């Protein structure tokens, strides 16, 4: 209602609650439009596709340093209702329409600005930022008005170089990590400086728990926090040096984790909360800037952000190295092994997703199919045993092709066993991944060379691990040797 009253005058919006408004005409309109879309003729579908291709010709490519690169997304966000994730405070608010004069175009001085499709309107600004990699920007269409950027596609040379540098920096951290841990452990144990205690303890949490460093938020932004912006209310102390951290992380997704920490870390955290109110800062003497300055003093260009990439990558590498090739022999089983390792990384990084609305129905459908297969297997086994003994087989109630000989039946049983095992793994994985987003760590945090070299070494087709989009994004990593390690 707040969003509606912000758009309409009071006289045009005399309602106090959404229950007072009849949305049926709007619902009927969109149902009708959806039916029309589903019933489009081949000619209409082709016309839409041709129109889309024309737009791609106009806006889908850019020439950078005499090289043609694909543009990632060349459309602004449409108006609508902000869905958000987790417990975002702006959920349900209206997203306004973006107009051409909201947009800033970034091109070279000699280039012609792209055509503005709206007659009588023009781009807000045309700038020439040679050091920037964004092609256009605009103020977001929510109340936050944060700046959105349009970039080159993930397959571009610039993105590839940026990705490679990011993962190489994380890999370089491996050479410094023991020195960093010795240093922050000394700060944790420092008996004279509370500042050092806070700096060492915060670095410990970022390293061990893969927490984001955290930055200050504006009043109109979601109350998301990271390590340095934790408050007293976000921590609970348990027995046996265990702490529970509970707060809203990035994208307003809840982070809740109970973990046993080093005894001195536990003591420090207890000390940091003394005399503070629930909304008081846990780490009141440091911030993200001071923490990053400290890290840079040990390793050039190091920031807290690099720890997440490092921890995600080293965790994946260590887990994949545990594969027992003599027991996990099939491609399917090895893919499942990889996905299990991927899930552990996603959980470490708190990469969550909201379970699909029809998740339960999907799960029940797979379970029904599995139950049917199990019943088929039981009846087929009885049928084959009867054939072997020369007896008359029992009547089969399931829809299954019956073998003519016991030998054919045995082969059919083996095939059915594989199918059942596959479905059981699928069901187990589906349940385990209900609220875990595997893609985020795979796209942004785990060095792709780990996955590619492992696939080559274990003879797993890369397309079983990386979809086409990721194979294109990580083209620079495809030539890595099978023996490569992070």
Q: What is the CATH number of the domain that holds 135?
A: 2.170.11.10
19 and 102 inside one domain: no
The verdict on residue 122 lying in a domain is yes
Is 440 inside a domain boundary? no
Q: Are residue 278 and residue 202 in the same domain, yes or no?
A: yes
Which pLDDT does position 218 carry in this prediction? 47
Q: Where does the pLDDT of residue 251 fall: very low under 50, low under 70, confident under 90, or very high at 90 and above?
A: confident
pLDDT at 22: 83
What global pTM score does this model have?
Answer: 0.75
Indicate if the pLDDT at residue 223 is higher than 80: no
The answer to whether residues 139 and 98 belong to one domain is: yes
Confidence of residue 5 (pLDDT cuts 50, 70, 90): low
Backbone angles phi, psi at 306, to 5 degrees: -65, -30
Query: Is the pLDDT score of 293 beyond 80?
Result: yes
How far apart (Å, rounded) are the C-alpha atoms in residues 236 and 215?
22
CA atoms within 13 A on the CB side of 460: 27
- C-alpha 171/C-alpha 477 separation (Å) is 14
Binning pLDDT at 50, 70 and 90, where does residue 1 land?
low
Torsion of CA 183, 189, 193, 199, to 10 degrees: 50
Q: Is residue 342 part of a domain?
A: no
Tokens at 5, concatenated = 């009253």
Q: What is the pLDDT of residues 206-219, one digit of tens each?
A: 999 989 988 655 44
Q: Is residue 174 part of a domain?
A: no
372 lies in a domain?
A: yes
Which residue has 């912006």 as its token pair? 229
Q: Which residues pair with 231 in a beta bridge?
A: 281
Q: Which residue has the higher pLDDT, 465 or 352?
A: 465
Residue 445 a catalytic site member: yes
CB 349 within 8 A of CB 440: yes
Whether the pLDDT of residue 329 is over 80: the answer is yes
- pLDDT the model gives residue 72: 83
Residue 348: inside a domain? no
Compute how many other C-beta atoms are within 10 angstroms of the C-beta atom of residue 226. Answer: 20
Using the predicted structure, report yes or no on whether residue 2 has a pLDDT greater than 60.
no
Is 459 contained in some domain? no
203 and 298: one domain?
yes
Strands across the sheet with 254-260, in order? 235-237, 242-248, 254-260
| Collapsed DSSP state (helix, strand, coil) of residue 436 | strand
Q: Are both 234 and 283 inside the same structural domain?
A: yes
- Asked if residue 3 has pLDDT above 70, the reply is no
Closest by CA to 384, choosing from 369, 370, 400, 372, is 400
Measured CA to CA, the distance from residue 285 to residue 272 in angstroms comes to 10
Nearest-5° angle of CA 77, CA 446, CA 357?
50
In this structure, are 219 and 291 located in the same domain?
yes
Domain stop point among 133, 153, 173: 153
Using the predicted structure, report yes or no on whether residue 460 has a pLDDT greater than 60. yes
Q: What is the pLDDT of residues 462-480, one digit of tens each?
A: 999 999 999 999 999 999 9
DSSP-derived 3-state class of residue 408: helix
Same-domain check for residues 214 and 291: yes
- DSSP string computed for 144-208: T--EEEEEB-TTSHHHHHHHHHHHHHHHHHHHHHHHHHHHHHHHHT-SS-HHHHHHHHHHHHHHH
Whether residue 249 has pLDDT greater than 90: no
- Looking at the structure of the chain, the number of domains it has is 4
Widest CA span in the chain: 88
Tell me the pLDDT band of 220, cut-offs 50, 70 and 90: very low
Identify whether 166 is part of a domain: no
The pLDDT of residue 219 = 45
Q: Residue 249 CA to chain centroid, in angstroms? A: 13
The DSSP secondary-structure symbol of 392 reads P
Q: Report pLDDT for 434.
A: 78
Alpha-carbon distance 151 to 134, whole Å?
A: 5
Does 105 share its domain with 210? no
Q: Of 294, 310, 338, 445, which residue is the catalytic one?
A: 445
Contact predicate 279/231, CB 8 Å: yes
Q: What is the mean pLDDT of residues 158-184?
A: 94
d(CA 99, CA 101): 5
Summarize pLDDT for 99-157 with one digit per residue, the tens: 999 999 999 999 989 888 889 999 999 999 988 889 999 987 666 667 889 999 888 88
Residue-wise pLDDT tens digits, 380-410: 888 888 888 888 777 777 788 888 888 888 8
- pLDDT at residue number 66: 85
Best CA proximity match to 208, nearest among 270, 263, 273, 261: 261
> Residue 79: its pLDDT value, please?
84
Are residues 33 and 89 part of one domain? Answer: no
Q: Lowest-pLDDT range, 67-81, 171-185, 270-284?
A: 67-81
Query: Does residue 272 sit in the same domain as residue 229?
Result: yes
- Is the domain of 196 the same as that of 291? yes
> The domain that contains 194 carries what CATH number?
3.90.15.10
Other CB atoms within 10 A of residue 182 CB: 10
Provide the token pair at 296.
């840079």
Give me the chain's average pLDDT, please. 88
What average pLDDT does the segment 357-377 reach? 85
Give 203 or 224, the one with higher predicted confidence: 203
My answer on whether 296 and 202 are in the same domain is yes
Q: Which of 421, 442, 423, 427 is nearest to 359 (CA)?
A: 427
Of all residues in the chain, the percent with pLDDT exceeding 70 is: 93
Q: What does DSSP assign to residue 114?
A: P
Identify the domain containing residue 387 by its residue range. Answer: 361-431
Q: How far from 47 is each of 50, 55, 61, 236, 395, CA to CA, in Å?
A: 5, 13, 22, 60, 55
Name the nearest CA neighbour of 281 among 290, 272, 289: 272
The pLDDT score that the predictor gives to residue 85 is: 64
- Crossing angle for the helix pair 448-458 and 157-188, to the nearest 10 degrees: 100
What pLDDT score does 12 carry?
64
């Amino acid at each position: 209602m707040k969003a509606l009253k912000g758009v309409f005058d009071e006289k045009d919006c005399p309602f106090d609650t959404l229950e007072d408004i009849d949305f049926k005409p709007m619902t009927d309109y969109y149902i009708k439009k959806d039916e029309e879309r589903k019933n489009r003729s081949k000619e209409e579908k082709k016309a839409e596709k041709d129109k889309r291709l024309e737009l791609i010709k106009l806006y889908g490519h850019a020439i950078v340093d005499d090289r043609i690169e694909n543009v990632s997304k060349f459309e602004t966000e449409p108006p609508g209702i902000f869905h958000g994730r987790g417990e975002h405070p702006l959920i349900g608010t209206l997203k306004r329409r973006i107009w051409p004069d909201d947009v800033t175009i970034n091109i070279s001085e000699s280039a012609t600005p792209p055509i503005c499709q709206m007659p009588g309107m023009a781009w807000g600004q045309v700038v020439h930022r040679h050091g920037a990699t964004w092609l256009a920007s605009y103020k977001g269409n929510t109340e936050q008005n944060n700046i959105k950027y349009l970039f080159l596609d993930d397959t571009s040379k610039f993105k590839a170089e940026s990705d490679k540098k990011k993962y190489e920096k994380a890999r370089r951290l491996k050479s410094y990590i023991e020195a960093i841990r010795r240093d922050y452990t000394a700060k944790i144990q420092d008996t004279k400086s509370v500042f050092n205690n806070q700096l060492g303890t915060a670095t410990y949490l970022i390293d061990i728990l893969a927490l984001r460093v955290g930055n200050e938020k504006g009043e109109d932004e979601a109350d998301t926090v990271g390590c340095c912006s934790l408050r007293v209310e976000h921590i609970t102390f348990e027995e046996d040096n265990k702490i529970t951290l509970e707060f809203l992380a990035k994208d307003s997704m809840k982070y809740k984790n109970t973990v046993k920490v080093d005894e001195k870390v536990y003591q420090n955290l207890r000390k940091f909360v003394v005399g503070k109110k629930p909304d008081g800062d846990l780490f009141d003497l440091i911030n993200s800037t001071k923490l990053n300055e400290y890290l840079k003093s040990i390793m050039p260009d190091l920031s807290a952000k690099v720890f997440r990439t490092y921890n995600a990558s080293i965790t994946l590498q260590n887990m994949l190295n545990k594969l027992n090739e003599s027991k996990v022999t099939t491609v399917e089983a090895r893919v499942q092994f990889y996905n299990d390792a991927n899930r552990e990384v996603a959980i470490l990084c708190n990469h969550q997703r909201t379970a699909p609305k029809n998740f339960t129905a999907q799960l029940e459908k797979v379970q029904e199919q599995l139950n049917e297969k199990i019943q088929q297997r039981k009846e087929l086994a009885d049928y084959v045993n009867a054939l072997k003994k020369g007896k008359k087989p029992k009547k089969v109630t399931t829809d299954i092709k019956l073998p003519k000989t016991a030998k054919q039946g045995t082969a059919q049983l083996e095939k059915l066993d594989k199918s059942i095992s596959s479905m059981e793994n699928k069901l187990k994985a589906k349940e385990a991944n209900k609220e875990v987003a595997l893609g985020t760590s795979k796209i942004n945090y785990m060095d792709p060379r780990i996955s590619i070299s492992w696939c080559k070494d274990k003879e797993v087709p890369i397309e079983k691990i990386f979809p086409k989009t990721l194979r294109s994004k990580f083209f620079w990593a495809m030539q890595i040797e099978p023996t490569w390690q992070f």
